[in-house]
Amino acid sequence: MRAILLFLVVACAAGEDKPQEPSRRREVIVVTGAYEPIPLEEADRSVAAFDVAGSVLLLNSIADVLRLDPTLDLRQRTPNAVQSDLSIRGGTFGQTLVLLDGFRLNDAQSGHHNMDVPVPLESIERVEVLRGSGSALYGSDAVGGAVQFITREPEATELRFRTAAGNFGVNQQRGSLGFARRRISQILSFARDVSSGFRPNRDYRNLSLGSSTLWKTGLSSTRVLLSHNDRPFGAQGFYGSFPSWERTKTWFAGLRQQVREKTEASFAFRRHTDLFVLYRDRPQVFANRHTVEAFQAAVRRRDSFSPTAVLHYGVEGYRDAIESTNLGSHVRGRGAGYAAFDVRSLRRFSFTLAARKEVHERGKSQFSPSASFGVWLNDRLKLRAGASRAFRLPSYTDLYYHDPASRGSPDLRPELAASYEAGV
């Protein structure tokens, strides 16, 4: 496939002039795979961070960011991540957890929709990757690892716009508008990607809208995240040799309230619809319609026993429901409690002991413990090791899907995995 793209980029920023400071090495802070933000070099797990905001002109989609990590297995059915499956360390696409600012994005219908990230690329600050199980921290699905998308905060008033055009009807427009004040900042972003397809019935149209607002008071902060995504696309050869067509829509709303730096409460709602037509020119022959609504809520707290010892604990709740022409109507709920004891002496040693108990349907539960430690051998070399237990609850497709070629089983039990790792 050959394509010629014409780019037009406009960017401007206005704000108070700040004195120039001598250049210095920027410390990378990560939040994935840890119970609080820590320097990347202090992480006891295999964690990677990829800057997006500073490289947005070089990136065309979220898939371009993920391809920067050779340990990720990203399989795309169309360009620009219209539909893609992500796996880590040999797991399946359903065994990878996808997060947005700490909120779960995994779809209860099928893991094929986990990468329907609803925010535009222009609103993302960085992407963090946890390699290895993370169920003690995140619960179900984090068997092979987790990928987290972190939205950015504008530092001044800014306006960004980018457009592109090329072969196969490629037409793209992307932009963002942000402002920052002493107590409040907000960024609005959009992205539109259209193509007639490099082969028949491979056309797509991808529209994303996002809003992220941060409001800070004396001892607390409030973050509100709103986003929407609509992506109809030709699915020629996606599931067999049929001339299929599919359209997915995602609505997401998240609220996070932090109080006095020690307590945090969060709530999020996600709605996802999926319309799949087996024969695009004859939709009446076979069509599936699915609607999934999911709620998640959590209360977390940290208490310090000393400058180096911290106890993290909290409770979480989830509820998802599906209305489907093929899978039926079902509702599931689950709750979890966790605790983690973290000891960290910078540039010397660290260790974390954690456990999570998650109760799901009919009183059944999963226990997910983990332990990790790290010790600095010298100024540049750190030895780390860890062990953990992970699980994945079956999706609605695993449980209830049926067609002439395959059939799900409502008696499926959760997948279980034990992980051990060591590295320097």
* C-alpha span between 278 and 240 (Å, rounded): 10
Rounded CA gap, 358 and 389, in Å? 13
Q: How far apart are CA 175 and CA 120, in angstroms?
A: 9
Contact 223, 256 (CB under 8 A): yes
Is pLDDT above 80 for 15?
A: no
- Could you tell me how many helices (H) and strands (E) the chain has, helices first? 3, 24
pLDDT number for residue 26: 52
> Quick one: CA torsion of 394, 63, 384, 28, rounded to 10 degrees?
-130
Its pTM stands at 0.91
- Residue 362: per-residue pLDDT: 74
What is 179-220 written as a DSSP string? EE-SSEEEEEEEEEEEE--SSTT--EEEEEEEEEEEEE-SSE
Write the DSSP symbol of residue 407. B
- 21-40 residue pLDDT tens: 443 445 678 888 888 889 88
31-423 is a CATH 3.40.1670.10 domain: no
Return the pLDDT at 61.
86
**What are the percentages of helix, strand and coil residues in the chain, rounded to 5?**
10, 55, 35
SS3 assignment, position 19: coil
pLDDT above 90 covers what percent of the chain?
A: 72
N-term to C-term CA, the chain: 41
Model confidence over 119-147: pLDDT tens digits?
999 999 999 999 999 999 999 999 999 99
pLDDT tens digits, 279-322:
999 999 999 999 999 999 999 999 999 889 999 999 999 999 99
**Cα–Cα distance for residue pair 386/401, rounded to 1 Å:** 37
Q: Which of 229, 154, 169 is nearest to 199 (CA)?
A: 169
Start-end of H helices in 60-151: 62-66, 135-138
pLDDT tens sequence across 50-103:
999 888 778 888 888 999 999 999 998 877 778 899 999 999 999 999 999 999
- What are 244-261's pLDDT values in tens digits? 999 999 999 999 999 888
Q: What DSSP character marks residue 102? A: T
Structure tokens at 340: 């983690």
Domain residue limits, the chain: 31-423
